[in-house]
Each structure stands twice: as structure tokens, then as C-alpha cells.
Amino acid sequence: MSRKLKGIAAAPGVAIAPIVHFHTTLDHIPTWQVGPDGVQAEVSRLGAAIDEVTAGLHSLQQELSSAIAKQDVRIYDAQMAILHDPTFKRDVENEIAAHGVNLEVALQRVIARYEGVFAAMDSPAMRERAADLRDIGRQLVVALVATERTKYTADGRDYLFAAEEFLPSDAGLLDREHIRGIVTAHGGKYSHGAILARSLGIPSVVGIEEIMLTTSTGALAIVDGDAGIVVLEPTQEDLDHYERQLREQRDIERRVAEVRLQSSVTPDGTHVRLCANVEGVRELDSLETGTIAGIGLFRTEFAFMERRQFPTEEEQVAMYRRAMQGAGGKPVTFRTLDVGGDKPLGYFRMPEERNPVLGWRGIRLCLDWPDILYTQIRAILRASALGHARVLLPMVTSRSEVVRCREVLDQLVQDLRDTGVAHDAEIELGVMVEVPALVHVLEDLLPIVDFVSVGTNDLVQYLLAVDRDNQRVAKMYDPFHPGVLRVLQQIAASAAAAGKPASVCGEIAGDHWFTPLLVGLGYRELSMAPVFLPRVKLMLRSFTADECRDLAARAVLMKSTREVRRLVQEEIQVRWERFLTGSAEVDA
């Protein structure tokens, strides 16, 4: 039976190959005492080591310049800046003189202190820069002990690189012809190692602490860099699924260039807005605004979670303005603070809850602490002067919650108008449909909102009473359940009857097998992680709107998840494969 380990999706794509363990740290750091007469000799060794590492980094830059993006080559400029930082050199020299230790030990101590400073920083991106320090220290010690680092190869065979972490200098040691994926115990999505993996096109999952303990060299595994999952001991069913996905990806890469900047439309002319889910301002730099209709979900809570205290109104305005600019003039939907459950704030004391997923979170928390909601909505309004913005309320259960939020929004709009502060006069207010009870009272609150967005991750979890992170029951978490489809149908029908747009922003929006069903149910806006956009756009071109309606109509009448999945396999999957290979085109 296969095992799935959940980590952080660092670089997209799928890889299937044997795992090979690599130990990227040095086994031995020489230690000796240095007297006053020996200090200058150690300082001279430092200068020589810096020169050698600098030359190596220049060589690595040249080697990789044709393989990675131009901006990513500058990662090594950042490392060289550390190498030649006068403060760094002075601190190392002082460590030698003050404590009578050799250069190798001094380097280890100074870098450990620097790492502690980075670890205390608010920004995850800055905390991850500590990896660059470790990498510089390692390169310097290698130069000092005259050790040649071993290449990361598997004797000419395909392999998955497994290690404690993947650092920038490791990129020069990879057998790029045969490496298929990277999985590490440590690291983050925004580390320089992860950025290089993405630039090199190597599927990567990081942050699986037990990977070196629970695997052995030679064991077959699957790295799913889209979902952030590593599958150990894969079954034949797992292999068939991911091998099909690999074939798809090759065909998608071939066809996506044809439609990348074209409209997201079915063959018979039905337009579907495809938007991006964004977790924070760092993701805006890689966002291709020409391929999206807007930002359909900007998760504001990540900016709160990165800090040691609540961000001020001015700090929030700056962040939201950055999002408006990053959207390239297209609409941005800001979800108000959604903390609690699995997203706590370290600086905000929250009560111990027996079941936090069903507890004090989302709009419930914000209405109990109205200053948080007031400040956030005012900041969004001020930033909205740069374009069109929408405010999305999470975890709504009742009409009264929406009424209170509408009152706050209307009052703030009036205040800004009275004081002459620029804002989007057409700002919209919407609700996330993720609490099942809301589905049955949706008609009551639709008159006071402008749109609805279905958060399928929580909605499906609550409908099926399944914790998808609980390995004992996770297999029961299946959005293709007929009961889920009927609820989605009811939401779309209620919104259409009220003349209000309905979108889907949960994971199924990015699942291309679901695309024809969602279109058939009446959804005309889907928001997803950008990596899934090409598949969904291509799937839209595989079925006419009438065919989508027929598929959805049959699916909601089915009596089991197995029947629905058979429909997907026999009709959607078959059409998709023929479409990708060009053996069948859909006529309008």
C-alpha cells in the first residue's frame, strides 16, 4: 500500500524515479587552537577561500546562464555580495582573534549567529535567506579543506534527489540529464533553492522532515510538485495515474503555446473567466497577467501570519496596492482575514479549541474584533483607487453576519467620499459559500451581496464530514460525490435566479477533470493556482457548453461517486486525450 507524505509544493510538475539520498553537509570540520601569532595566517586563508569561492560562483553562473531565467542567475550575485560583505569578514576575523579558533570553526560560529538573526525576521522570504548563509559557509569550508564536492549522480540513471535541503550551489552538482525531481526535509517555497528548481524545471517538494528517515536509496517514489505530495511505495494505480499525467503534461506543453494568450472560451463561444489564486505579494512577480482575467482570490491572511503584530492600516494599504498593480488593471478579490483553524496568528492569543476547523475563525473572529475588520476594509478601499476591487467574506453562516459587514463597508465608503479619499466607488461585496447551512439560506442574503464564491475545500469537507488531512478517512474526501455536485448545482441556480455571478475558488476549480461539470452547472468564473491554468483553458476548448450541460445533468442524477468517476473516465478523459493529441477537434 502506498504512503503519501505532504510537504510544500516548491516547483510544479510530476516526477517518477528511484530516490537517491545525498548528504549535502560536510562530515568533518577541522578544529584547532590558534595563538596570537597565528591569527594573521587564518585571515589570509579567509581571503584566499573567498577568492576561490567567488571564482566558482562566477563559473556556476556562466554554466547555468543558458538553463535558467536571467533574473534567477542573480541569485549567485546575492551570494557573492555576502562573501564580500566587510561586516561578515570582520566578524569572522574577530571570532578568530577573540576566541583563538581556526577559520573553519569561526565561520561556523558567525554563520550560526547570522542564521539566528534571519530566523527572527517577520518575512518568510527573509527567513529563508539563512539558507544562503549556510551555503556560503559550506563553500568556504570546502575550499579551505581542499575537498572536491561529489557530483549528485546516480550512475547515469534517472533519479529523485533527496537531501536535508537543496542549496543554490547544489545546482551545479546535479546530473541535469537524469535528475527527475527534488524532495527535501527542509526549505521553503521562496528559498533560492526552490526558485532555482522552478527555473530548471525540476518538480520539487520541500519541508518533508521525515523523508531521509522513511525512505531508502533505490526506492521508487513519485514527486507531485503541483500538490506538494511525495508518494512512497506507489501502487500500479498510482503509477498509471501519474504516468498519464506526465503524458498529458508533454501534450499540454505542446498545445498550450497555441492558446496561452487567447480567450478562455468553449468551442461554441461561451466565455469562462479564469482567475488566479494568490497567497501574497511575492507571488505577483511571477504572475502572467496576460493569461488571467484577474485575481479571483487574494489570501490576505498570509501577510498577517508573517508578522509579529497586526499590520497597521498603512502597511495593509501598501500590500493591497501592490496586489492591484500586480493584477495589471484587472479586478482583484480580497478575502478578508481568515485565520483560526489551521492558520493561527502567533501574536494573537486564541482560545484552545477541541475542533478549531469548526471554531472561532474567519468572519466570526473579525466580527468579534471589529477593529480588525474595520481597518482591513478601509485599507482595501484606499488601495482600490488603483483599479476594481472586490471584498470576499469567509466562513459566513448567516444573513446577519453579512448585514453587519455591509454596514461597515457602506459607512467606510461614505467616510472616504466625505473626506475626499480616492477609492473604487464600484467596489463589490461577496460571500464565500463553504458552510453547508448557508446554501439553504443563500436566497435570503443574495439581495445584499454582489457575488458569491464557492470555497470547495471546506465545503466538501463539511458536507462529507471528512478531514482530508486525516489519513484514516482522507480517501473518503471526494468532490465527485453526487451530493457535492447537487449542492454546487443549487448554489449556481440560486445565484443565477438572483442575477448574481457565482465563481469557484477552491481546489476543484483547478482540477481540469471537473471543468466541464462546473461549466455545465452554470459557473462562469473559476479561480485557481496559476500552475493549473493551462490545463483548464485547454479543457474548456474540448467541450461545447451544451455538452457540458449534458454531462453535468447526468452526473447530478447519479447514485454514487463511482458512477460519476466512470463518467469522467469514459467521456471527459477520453475526449481530453484525443483533443491533446489532435486526433479530435470540437466543432462549434
Mean pLDDT of the chain: 88
What is the domain-level CATH number for residue 331?
Answer: 3.20.20.60
Considering the domain architecture, whether residues 346 and 396 belong to the same structural domain is answered as yes
CATH number of the domain at 172, please.
Answer: 3.50.30.10
| Distance of alpha carbon 47 from the chain centroid | 40
Does 52 score more than 60 pLDDT? yes
Q: Is residue 171 within 8 Å of 24, Cβ to Cβ?
A: no
User: Which is nearest to 505 in space by CA: 444, 458, 462?
Assistant: 458
Q: Is the domain of 279 the same as that of 225?
A: no
Based on the fold, state whether residues 212 and 165 are members of the same structural domain. Answer: yes
E-assigned strand segments in 27-171: 159-163
> Is 314 domain-assigned?
yes
Final residue of a domain: which of 144, 176, 200?
Answer: 144
Q: Are 136 and 176 contained in the same domain?
A: no
Main-chain phi, psi angles of 331, to 5 degrees: -60, 150
Q: Domain containing 122 — which CATH number? A: 1.10.274.10
Q: Is residue 587 part of a domain?
A: no
Strands 3-6 and 159-163: unpaired
Rounded Cα–Cα distance for residues 504 and 289 (Å): 19
Burial (CB count within 10 angstroms: exposed 0-12, middle 13-18, buried 19+), residue 250:
exposed
- Per-residue model confidence (pLDDT) at position 444: 96
| 175 part of a folded domain | yes
Q: Reduce the DSSP state of residue 499 to 3 states and report it.
A: coil
CA trace torsion 283, 13, 562, 277 (10° rounding): 10
In a shared domain, residues 533 and 448: yes
Q: Which of 208, 234, 260 is the last residue of a domain?
A: 234
Residue 393 domain flag: yes
User: What 3-state class would DSSP assign to 123?
Assistant: coil
Overall average pLDDT of the 458-485 stretch: 82
Q: Establish if 280 belongs to a structural domain.
A: yes
> Is the same domain home to 326 and 212?
no
Rounded to 5 degrees, what are φ and ψ at 399?
Answer: -65, -35
Q: Is the same domain home to 452 and 576?
A: yes
31 within a domain of the structure (yes/no): no
Which residues have C-beta within 8 Å of that of residue 251, sequence separation ≥ 6?
A: 580, 581
The side-by-side arrangement of strands in the sheet containing 159-163 is 3-6, 229-232, 220-224, 14-21, 159-163, 179-184, 204-206, 8-11
> For residue 412, what is its C-alpha cell?
467606510
Q: Which domain holds residue 57?
A: 36-144
Contacts of 44 (CB under 8 A, 6+ apart): none
Q: Examine the residue annotation and report whether 388 is marked as an active-site residue of this protein.
A: no
Cell of 1: 500500500
The answer on pLDDT for 404 being more than 60 is yes
CB 246 within 8 A of CB 16: yes
Q: Report helix, strand or coil for 224.
A: strand
Q: Is 556 part of a structural domain of the chain?
A: yes
420: Cβ contacts below 8 Å, ≥ 6 apart: none
Instruction: Tell me the pLDDT band of 452, cut-offs 50, 70 and 90.
Output: very high
Q: Which of 192, 423, 481, 512 is catalytic?
A: 192
- The model's pLDDT over 462-471, given as tens digits with 9 standing for 90+, comes to 999 887 656 5
C-alpha dihedral, 4 to 8 to 13 to 16, nearest 10°? -40
Cell of 371: 477593529
* Last residue within a domain, chosen from 144, 159, 176: 144
**502 lies in the same domain as 370:** yes
Residues 204 and 69 in one domain: no
Q: What is the pLDDT of residues 233-268, one digit of tens each?
A: 999 999 999 998 888 777 777 777 777 778 899 999
pLDDT of residue 361: 77
Q: What is the pLDDT of residue 57?
A: 92
Q: Are residues 220 and 284 in the same domain?
A: no
pLDDT tens-place string over residues 86-127? 999 999 999 999 999 999 999 999 999 988 887 776 556 667
* Residue 588 forms part of a structural domain: no
Structurally, the chain folds into a number of domains equal to 3
455 alpha-carbon distance from chain centroid: 17
Q: How confident is the model at residue 588 (pLDDT cuts 50, 70, 90)?
A: very low
Would you state the cell numbers that stand for residue 229, as one nine-digit string?
505530495
Torsions phi, psi for 300 (to 5 deg) = -70, -20
To the query of whether residue 192 is one of the catalytic residues in this protein, the response is yes
Stated pTM of the model: 0.71
Euclidean distance between CA atoms 175 and 193, whole angstroms: 16
pLDDT: which is higher, 301 or 19: 19
Both 210 and 229 in one domain: the answer is yes
Catalytic residue among 275, 366, 405, 505, which? 505
pLDDT for the residue numbered 398: 94
**CA-wise closest residue to 8 among 216, 223, 221:** 223
Q: Is the same domain home to 126 and 256?
A: no
